[in-house]
Amino acid sequence: MYKVAIVGATGLVGSKMLEVLAERSFPISELLVAASEKSVGKILTFKSKEYKVISVQDAVDAKPQIAIFSAGGSTSLAWAEKFASNGTYVIDNSSAWRMNDKCPLVVPEINFKDITPDTKIIANPNCSTIQMVIALSDLHKKYKINRIVVSTYQSVTGTGVKAVKQLMDERQNIDGEKAYHHKIDLNLIPQIDVFLENGYTKEEMKMVHETKKILGDPQIKVTATCVRVPVMGGHSESINVSFEHEFELKEVLEILQKTKGVIVIDNNAKLEYPMPLNAHEKDEVFVGRIRRDETQPKTLNLWVVSDNLRKGAATNAVQIAEHLASANLI
């Protein structure tokens, strides 16, 4: 049984973390729910029991064995090392530590081995990256990826409660608070996060750098276009991937069907393919529209969908905690 802190417990992802911890019956001896000062004193429910939100400092002082963060990069930078100095394993859902050479960037099905007994801050990857590398990791082992071209279609839930409210307000012609610069209902916004000097957004470059780190191959070429869509339930991705070695579609299908965490939905005759509605509240990554790119040698097209709040965030973090426990690292 473990003492566990959730930092950012009142947010959309923090709430989902509590839900996933309960569903998966993670062995908790004491639960600490922490958030910003404005949320201290609020009441949250976990397994039918009420918990009062405490400050992050109080959570540090309680010395939990595991602290799962979903409170934004600035909070993670300010507090993660304070927890770690107490011997706490920090699993951070922000981008703050992902590209830090001393912090493993972990998708448990792929690279849990990157965590050592000395590792105290473990980064949870970007939601869009997680579902892509889950789908591609075993194919990379077999055929060796040279290049990935990915376009994402990302749910408003990836932005948070404010964005969900904007979408719902717009559908009801309510002039409410805005999460986006543009209208999102009946629209697509080809910008996620801020623009960088190279013309790409921060979200797009996260996918570039994180993919290389998780798959352990800095030579993989990745280019991304990330788009916000008026959808709730999951992120979708159109992936075009070129390999070093030739493949047969039948073998690709067999590999994907055996890939841990993947469910293949690929039946054109029955119009069956992954959609956000399939992925909502599920922990798996759904793959379909599997076909050869007829314009490029050794190149494959895939359509990949996953619930960004679950496998893309909360579930992946909880799975890391489960692996820490099963590997006797705690």
What is the domain-level CATH number for residue 181? 3.30.360.10
Predicted confidence (pLDDT) at residue 172 exceeds the cutoff of 90 = yes
118 and 146 in one domain?
A: no
Residue 128 has pLDDT above 90, yes or no: yes
Catalytic status, residue 127: yes
- Same domain? For 41 and 86 the reply is yes
CA–CA gap between residue 124 and residue 122 (Å, rounded) = 7
The residues with which 95 forms a beta bridge, in sequence order, are none
Residue written as token pair 């992802």: 13
**Average pLDDT for residues 231-236, to the nearest whole number?**
95
Share of the chain above pLDDT 70, in %: 100
Does position 124 have pLDDT exceeding 90, yes or no? yes
Q: For the chain, what is the radius of gyration of the CA atoms?
A: 20
* Domain assignment of residue 266, given as a range: 128-308
pLDDT value, residue 117 = 86
Residue 164 and residue 79 in one domain:
no
Same domain, residue pair 34 and 58: yes
Is residue 243 scored above 90 in pLDDT? yes
Do residue 221 and residue 302 come from a single domain? yes
* CB 47 within 8 Å of CB 24: no
Query: What's the DSSP call for residue 95?
Result: S
Residue 267 in 3-state DSSP?
strand
Tell me, yes or no, whether 25 and 142 share the same domain: no
**Residue 162 pLDDT:** 95
Give which of 298, 291, 157 is closest to 235, Cα–Cα. 157
Catalytic residue among 103, 140, 226, 235: 235
- Listed in sequence order, the residues at least 6 apart from 303 whose beta carbon sits closer than 8 Å to its beta carbon are 236, 237, 238, 239, 273, 274, 287, 288, 289
Task: Tell me what pLDDT residue 275 has.
Answer: 98
pLDDT at 15: 95
Question: Are residues 171 and 115 part of one domain?
Answer: no
What is the Cα–Cα distance from 307 to 321, expressed in whole angstroms? 19
Confidence grade of residue 329 (pLDDT, cut at 50, 70, 90): confident
Residue 141 and residue 85 share a domain: no
Tell me, yes or no, whether 7 and 81 share the same domain. Answer: yes
Residue range 265-287, pLDDT digits in tens: 999 999 999 999 999 999 999 99
What is the model's pLDDT at position 328?
86
Q: What local confidence, expressed as pLDDT, does residue 118 receive?
A: 87
Over residues 252-256, mean pLDDT: 98
Helix, strand, or coil (residue 219): coil
How confident is the prediction for the chain on average, in pLDDT?
A: 97
Whether 167 and 116 map to the same domain: the answer is: no
Do 86 and 133 lie in a common domain? no
What mean pLDDT do residues 151-157 have? 97
Q: Does position 259 have pLDDT exceeding 90, yes or no?
A: yes
User: What is residue 330's predicted lDDT score, i.e. its pLDDT?
Assistant: 84
Q: How confident is the model at residue 141 (pLDDT cuts 50, 70, 90)?
A: very high
Cβ neighbors of 22 (< 8 A, separation 6 or more) are 46, 47
Contacts of 31 (CB under 8 A, 6+ apart): 4, 5, 6, 46, 51
User: Residue 308's pLDDT is what?
Assistant: 97
pLDDT of residue 3: 98
Q: Verify that 191 and 262 share a domain, yes or no.
A: yes
How far apart, in whole angstroms, are the C-alpha atoms of residue 91 and residue 68? 5
Per residue in 20-53, pLDDT (tens digit) is 999 999 999 999 999 999 999 999 999 999 999 9
Tens digits of residue pLDDT in 82-120: 999 999 999 999 999 999 999 999 999 999 999 988 899
CATH number at residue 43: 3.40.50.720
Q: What is the sign of the dihedral through the CA atoms of 276, 313, 35 and 205? A: negative
For residue 104, the one-letter residue type is: P
Contacts with 259 (C-beta within 8 Å, 6 or more apart), sequence order? 134, 135, 137, 138
Q: Which is catalytic among the residues 103, 127, 140, 226?
A: 127
Number of domains in the chain: 2
